[in-house]
Amino acid sequence: MTLTNAHATPASACLAALEASPEGLTANEAARRLAQHGPNRLPEVRARGPVLRFLMQFHNVLIYVLLGAAAVTGTLQHWVDTGVILAVVLANAVIGFVQEGKAEAAMAAIRNMLAPRAAVLRDGHRTTLDGVDLVPGDIVLLEAGDKVPADLRVLEARGLAVQEALLTGESLPVEKGPEPVAADAALGDRRSMLWSGTLVTQGTARGLVVATGAGTEIGRIGGLLAGVEQLTTPLVAQMDHFARWLSFLILLFAALLLAYGYFVGHMPFADLFMAVVGVAVAAIPEGLPAVMTVTLAIGVQAMARRHAIVRRLPAIEAIGSVSVICTDKTGTLTRNEMVVAAADTPEGTFSIAGEGYAPQGTITPSGDLGRLALAAALCNDARLHRKDATWTVEGDPMEGALLAFAGKVGSDHPGRRWDAIPFDSRHRFMAVLTEGAFGRLVHVKGAPERVLRMCAGLDQAQWHDRAEALAKRGLRVLAFAERTEPGNKIDPKVLEGGLTFLGLVGLIDPPRPEAIAAVAECRTAGIRIKMITGDHAGTAAAIAGQIGLENPDRVLTGHDLDKLDDPQLALEVVGTNVFARTSPEHKLRLVTALQANGLSVAMTGDGVNDAPALKRADAGIAMGLKGSEAAKEAADLVLADDNFASIAAAVREGRTVYSNLKKVISWTLPTSAGESMVIVLALLLGLALPITAVQILWINLITGITLGLALAFEPTESGTMSRPPRARHAPILSGELVWHVVLVAALFLAAVFGVFTYAIEKGYPLALAQTMAMNTLVVLEIFHLFFIRNIHGTSLTWAAAKGTRVVWTVVLVITAAQFAVTYLSPLRVVLGTAPVPLFEGLLIVCIGAVFFALIEIEKQIRLGLRS
């Protein structure tokens, strides 16, 4: 069973060579072949192994400084210092390793959620399965927007064109067909082949799988292997850059400090050196980018839980800042579980009862709907399946509803399909040529205004009004027509004007209740919602009203849009929320027009032609269920359930992530500044260090794994969705943040020096005074954490005090750790601490509370001034 030169072999011979049939393989045979050939998956990129990943943790400025310091203290034979420094180095590497591993695992899990699916024939039936389960000999069905799932020999093609840039570099789509080509044709000229990983841009095809997995052309050149995503966003990259520069500045400053202390202050080198190392370690925010990465990874996971799968990480920031969401209607705002409710034919008006896809229900009044039902059944690519008592649809739900309708009428006339023009959202109709009991007939279904135009001998105005009336009820309206056709091809030209009108069908597609709630939530969050649909203006307006959009009756159609130039459109687009009868091209113009108004736009899409608009939008969102692979590839986010409510959830998570990133920064920078300034000030003033260098290293280590990380796990702050979106390019290092750093660092200094001086003046030994100062610093950091958790509101609520499990866990861990170093003698030796009397301990906690009260009052004044 081998096939070489499939491109040069006639289709039938290819089928024979692979022992396949046009009806597809049997399930058993497919399973056997899967075992033989293995899954249809490209060999995985070898991720960096754990050893290399661990070693990479040492490649970092802070670690270099520490290793240098360990060498110097080792030379001076200060073994305790060397030991502590090396322990810090190791702990840092381990923390980094674990954090990075978690973040990478989160991204890998998400990648698997986006595995493509493929439509194949198995046991003669069309089924959808995971692309990895394809085997040579399978028959695959493709349509515009699909990604070719394996190397295929074309068996049948209609208007097929494929974008093969991935393999051949040719960016224009290439036409494909079943005819064999010369054996020595180059890859790009093998018109009878479809290559795995390329995109179908138009038409439909049926293809035979000839190679899978590593056996495909793309597998051979390893083309997709480079696609590993980096865990970064503009904000994280910006902070990374900032942290790097800051680190060098700090090192420079530390060197100056060392020189000053040695030559001017005449301090003993060893002590001075350790103190300067302490300053550098405390001040360098090297851990910041790693914690931010963890925050992102947690956000990615949270979004995935809410059915929004992040494809490109920067989107996580973008989605949190959107000020407009442009959304599709069908399936996103509505359920896409359609039922035919009304039919309007030249014979009369009918209402149709029945729920779901069951082909049973009564039609009132009874009448002859036979020809309309026949058209509905034949001009149709869906199938209904019955499992126990429930009917489900394979294919387009609207077509499923039409099949159910035909069943209710009692139409059951199978026919052989000769030819078809597939539905395309640009021409808005579909036509099929079938031969059955009524002879050879062309059936057309589509948007009423399009189909009516093809019909002869009709009061056009009257039927437009009747379609409009159905649409006003919120029904989706389709028109049907037919004509006889002696040949075996549909000539698109004969469709224009020569058809017999059969009638209109109105389908209910109820709004999703959760979408109504989500629209309301977005509106409170200052986000405008715009519906962009291919549907009729009347239907769109009715649904928009039910969903709760503003001004639902102000509708612009695609036709209206074509008449506006870009500046006019930019004016109109802001006040209009419903756009009907639009084509994908209009979406791109709408995004651009909205962006021209300074708005940050999220745009949904599903079809192959939506890709440019998705790319252009600040956050492109593709539908996971009904979306094409082309749309998913262009998108930043994919909705696993196609539901508008998931977009709102993603916005909420996006805002949460951004706010947590900001909290991480707002906690870390003042802490670093405060810690390092304590030592700097003491050195410059020639005072005894209130906290020793080893103690500073310890605090850095313990707070780094506890407090510093806790904010990454913060849940959504209340009120997150009642604030307007943040400005698109608002800098993170704002004046407000700088002020916060200065204020908190100053308060830290005052408190630490205050406690230290108080202890010395009380006659306590130096070690005790230093222990008290160190514990004061830790207590301040804990209170600061509680403050930062609610930067947008007040921290004096029960919910704020209750905190979260993560927060209390870290507080417990750090408290236990501080008790241990303060009271356990072996640790006391290493850190040079002394047990703190109970009264002084309480005093330290009180100082923390006063600090908290001060910054909280300052925040309330600031928030009050702003509003």
Site residues, ligand ATP (CB under 6 A):
328-330, 396, 398-399, 423, 425, 428-430, 445-447, 476, 478, 533-536
Q: How far is the CB of 330 from ligand ATP (least distance, A)?
A: 4
Q: How far is the CB of 287 from ligand ATP (least distance, A)?
A: 46
Q: How far is the CB of 616 from ligand ATP (least distance, A)?
A: 17
Q: Which is nearer to ligand ATP, 311 or 329 (by Cβ)?
A: 329
Q: What is the CA radius of gyration of the chain?
A: 34
CA atoms within 13 A on the CB side of 560: 15
Q: How far is the CB of 116 from ligand ATP (least distance, A)?
A: 21
Closest to 441 measured CA to CA, from 386, 497, 382, 481:
481
What is the SS3 assignment for 5? coil
Q: Which is nearer to ligand ATP, 328 or 482 (by Cβ)?
A: 328
For 181-218, b/e burial (b = at least 16 CB within 10 A) is beeebeeeebbbbbbbbbbbbbbbbbbbbbbbbebbbb
688 to 267, 283, 675, 770: CA distances (angstroms): 11, 20, 15, 10
Rounded to whole angstroms, the Cα distance separating 139 from 565 reads: 47
What is the SS3 assignment for 454? helix
Rounded to whole angstroms, the Cα distance separating 518 from 500 reads: 44
Q: How far is the CB of 849 from ligand ATP (least distance, A)?
A: 56
Q: Which is nearer to ligand ATP, 367 or 510 (by Cβ)?
A: 510
Q: How far is the CB of 206 from ligand ATP (least distance, A)?
A: 19
Phi first, then psi, for residue 122 (nearest 5°) are -135, 135
Token pair 């074309």 in the structure block, residue: 154
| 127 neighbors 120 (Cβ within 8 angstroms) | yes
Q: Longest Cα pair distance anywhere in the chain, in angstroms?
A: 111
Q: Which is nearer to ligand ATP, 482 or 781 (by Cβ)?
A: 482
What is the SS3 assignment for 39? coil
**Residue type, position 189, single letter:** D
What is the SS3 assignment for 2? coil
Q: Which is nearer to ligand ATP, 476 or 859 (by Cβ)?
A: 476
Tell me whether residue 396 is one of the annotated catalytic residues: no
Q: Which is nearer to ligand ATP, 57 or 609 (by Cβ)?
A: 609
Q: Which is nearer to ligand ATP, 330 or 671 (by Cβ)?
A: 330
Q: How far is the CB of 533 from ligand ATP (least distance, A)?
A: 3
**Residue type, position 472, single letter:** K
Q: Which is nearer to ligand ATP, 178 or 607 (by Cβ)?
A: 607
Q: Which is nearer to ligand ATP, 339 or 430 (by Cβ)?
A: 430
Report DSSP state, residue 393: E
Token pair 């100062």 in the structure block, residue: 773
Q: How far is the CB of 619 from ligand ATP (least distance, A)?
A: 17
CA 281 to chain centre: 36
Q: Which is nearer to ligand ATP, 206 or 428 (by Cβ)?
A: 428
Q: How far is the CB of 154 from ligand ATP (least distance, A)?
A: 24
| 452 neighbors 463 (Cβ within 8 angstroms) | yes
Residues 6+ apart with CB under 8 A from 369: 343, 345, 350, 363, 409, 503
Rounded to whole angstroms, the Cα distance separating 600 from 729 reads: 10
Question: DSSP readout, 186-243?
Answer: -GGG-TTEE-TT-EEEEEEEEEEEEE-GGGSHHHHHTGGGG-PPPS--HHHHHHHHHH
Report DSSP state, residue 479: E
H helices, E strands: number in the chain:
32, 25
| 556 neighbors 531 (Cβ within 8 angstroms) | no
Q: Which is nearer to ligand ATP, 110 or 602 (by Cβ)?
A: 602
| 275 neighbors 683 (Cβ within 8 angstroms) | yes
Burial of 117 (0-12, 13-18, 19+ CB in 10 A): middle
Q: How far is the CB of 446 from ligand ATP (least distance, A)?
A: 4
Q: Which is nearer to ligand ATP, 502 or 844 (by Cβ)?
A: 502
Q: How far is the CB of 401 from ligand ATP (least distance, A)?
A: 11
Structure-block tokens of residue 859:
């925040």
What is the SS3 assignment for 127? strand
**Which residue's Cβ lies closest to ligand ATP?**
534
Q: How far is the CB of 637 from ligand ATP (least distance, A)?
A: 17
Q: Which of these is catalytic: 138, 328, 610, 642?
A: 328
Strands (E), 452-588: 476-484, 500-508, 528-532, 555-557, 578-580
What is the SS3 assignment for 179? coil
Rounded to whole angstroms, the Cα distance separating 684 from 272 reads: 11
Residues 6+ apart with CB under 8 A from 407: 358, 359, 360, 384
Active site residues: 328
